[in-house]
Amino acid sequence: MLITKLTLTNFGLFRGKNEFDLRPAKQNGSIQPIILFGGKNGAGKTTLFDAFRIGLYGSNLDDYRYKKREYNKYILDHFHQNVNSQLSCDSASIEIEFEYAHLGEIDHFHVIRGWTRHQNKLKESLSIIKNGEKVDDLDDSQWQDFINELIPMGISKLFFFDGEKIQLLAEDDKNNTHLKGSFKTLLGLNIIDKLSADLGIFIGRKAKSSGEKEIQEDVLKYEREVSELEQSLDALYQEKAKINALYHQKLGKLEEQETLIVREGGSFSSQRDELKNKRNLLENNIDRSRLNIRELCSNLLPFSLTPQYCDILKNRLLEEEKYLQWANTQQLLGEKIDDFSKVINSGDHWDGLRISSDERDEVIDRVMALLRTQFMQGDTYQDYTPVHSLSQKEAQRIISWIEESQTTIPEKLEEYTKDLESLISERNRVEETLQRAPEDDVLGPIIQALNQLNKDIGQFEEQIRHMDEKIHSLEFNLEEVKRNRESCFDKLKQIENVSNQVILANTVREIVLEYSNTLQANKIKEFEDIFLSCFNRLMRKGEYITDVDINVDDFSLTLYNRGGQIIPKSNLSVGEKQIYAVAMLWAMTLASRRPLPFIIDTPLGRLDSEHRGNLVGEFFPKASHQMMIFSTDTEIDKDYFKDLRPYIAKAYHLDFKRDEGATEVTKGYFWNGLAEVEN
């Protein structure tokens, strides 16, 4: 994909029609992928950055989905306002032109999203031109779906990112929806998931033709429940993302206050740093202890809560084992006695003996009676009926679980609980110490602000914890409904008169799921290797990370050092988290093997000089065939501009004219070329 032009008309600070040529260039056989936008804060860089997403997705963006009123307010607020008039423009538009390659063919698309205002009511229009001709085979209502299918929002998250916010990807979050959703889209697994769901609906409908109306109704009911639960989860993920953003804003302010304390009162600051490290260590140990308890709860702990019923089950299984041994023995002995009876009753067996037939019959009767008396065990289990249809191996496994649940599991629970209580008590003492601050004129106001920030952060953490619990509960319910749905599918497979179409659909569905799991596992392994390479190229610490591991279930990523020890992502600095997130997005684009552009706002804001140098030298010129950067003169300064100059195809300078109330766009950066940089 290559974005060739962006046009803004009366949108935001941009008065009239403003066109931006975004094509990369070639010079002496080398690609110049960088399109550089320079402007001071408030000059319209973020407006341009947002214009790409608004132009493509409109109110379908995650920020405005199900929030039509907020979206309309955002657009109305971005109608250009003439500084010399109380009235703003009555129309505005965003146009995006791009090239998209599919099956070896390159098509040129021109997306035009416009708005008109009448009596403060907003009307939106959208049109698509493909290869110079309007797409007429689609209704107006289908054009947005066409764009979403052409450039799914899951993929767009890879190349639209804000340098101030992408470090959120580096959080230790078990619900990493950014990574998970992008992987699904990049691999085409979202299509496979849709195919699997459609096959489930097909099977449910076909069940009616097999006479299994009740199963059909259950399947359709479970499909509806799955859809509702997934929508609820999606809403929770979005709400959590917003809270996370506010949470990290507070963390940023907290870092500023602590820097001020270091400047004003070093002794307290050093003590606070020591306490913070101790608190972080305690938090990690608390999380580990809670994880141990959750693992017990999800395994054998429920058995420990019902010892009486477990003993009843154990005794029943042992009794059924004895019955099976008795039944097998009786069957074998009966067969052998019958064989013996045939042999002893044959005339050949008695040849050569002088004995009458009456005497022979008497001997046979006595011998057979003796055998049955000695070897057949009577009617001990004659009327006994087993309850459980289990193999001996399965029964022994269950008995082993029951015995373990009555011995080691309660001991482990007690150990983990005492450990958790001790850790929480110690953490609370550290928190209380952190809240204490010296009462003096210099540090007093700073500490007061610091305490308030800690209080706010604690409230956000509590909100996040509650949301995680809700998410966990919904995920558990979702898995339960999916299991019930699978049970219905299994029942359909066992119906003798089910149609061949249902059997085939079930088989295809199982193959599709197996293929999806295999493909996902292989691609994740490839991504791990690529991420490791990208991360260490951008880090100043060399091979700081030697191995990574991605959980295939929740897409959480674990980092390891040279000694094989886990590096918590909470230990990374803010700058290192940004490097981590950039490496992740870079690795995903490389793993996808899709030529995607990068559009980056505020790329160097939280990085130190060495990290900035690595990003300028390794990422900006090499990561993509098209790299659009929105920067201030304190980020891409004269030195970095000089380093990037051979790779810059075009540069635009955004200068806000306060007396005109509009941004003026000129070609060039803050400095027009290398000659001015070197002066």
Q: Give tens-digit pLDDT for 408-455.
A: 888 888 888 999 999 999 988 888 877 764 544 556 677 778 888 888
What percent of the chain shows pLDDT beyond 90? 11
- Is 488 or 94 the better-scoring residue by pLDDT? 94
- Is 158 or 131 the better-scoring residue by pLDDT? 131
- Is 382 or 329 the better-scoring residue by pLDDT? 329
How far is it, in rounded angstroms, from Cα 504 to Cα 523? 28
pLDDT score at 206: 67
Do the Cβ atoms of 106 and 100 come closer than 8 Å?
yes
How far is it, in rounded angstroms, from Cα 189 to Cα 186? 8
- Is 390 or 668 the better-scoring residue by pLDDT? 668
Q: What is the Cα 105 distance to its own chain's centre?
A: 33
pLDDT score at 35: 94
Tokens, residue 545 = 């990370």
How far is it, in rounded angstroms, from Cα 91 to Cα 10? 7
Give the pLDDT confidence of 31-89 residue by residue, as tens digits: 899 999 999 888 888 899 889 888 888 887 766 665 788 888 888 888 988 776 666 68
Residue 127 has pLDDT above 50, yes or no: yes
Give the pLDDT confidence of 401-410 residue by residue, as tens digits: 888 888 888 8
Average pLDDT score over residue span 167-172: 56
Residue 373 has pLDDT above 90, yes or no: no
DSSP string of 470-487?
Answer: HHHHHHHHHHHHHHHHHH
Residue 11 has pLDDT above 90, yes or no: yes
Q: What superfamily does domain 2-171+568-678 belong to in CATH?
A: P-loop containing nucleotide triphosphate hydrolases (3.40.50.300)
How far is it, in rounded angstroms, from Cα 127 to Cα 109? 10
pLDDT score at 34: 93
Do the Cβ atoms of 527 and 550 come closer than 8 Å?
yes
Give residues with Cβ within 8 angstroms of 578, minimum separation 6. 163, 166, 167, 170, 606, 607, 611
pLDDT score at 439: 45
Average pLDDT score over residue span 501-505: 76
Indicate the pLDDT class of residue 9, thresholds 50, 70 and 90: very high
Residue span(s) of the chain under CATH 3.40.50.300 come to 2-171+568-678
Residue 305 has pLDDT above 70, yes or no: yes
Do the Cβ atoms of 664 and 646 come closer than 8 Å?
no
Tokens, residue 421 = 């209580």
Q: For residue 454, which phi and psi values (nearest 5 degrees)?
A: -60, -40
DSSP string of 524-592?
Answer: HHHHHHHHHHHHHHH-TTSSS--EEEE-TTT--EEEE-TTS-EE-GGGS-HHHHHHHHHHHHHHHHHHH
Average pLDDT score over residue span 515-524: 81
Q: Which residue in the block uniquely carries the two structure tokens 């304390």?
A: 261
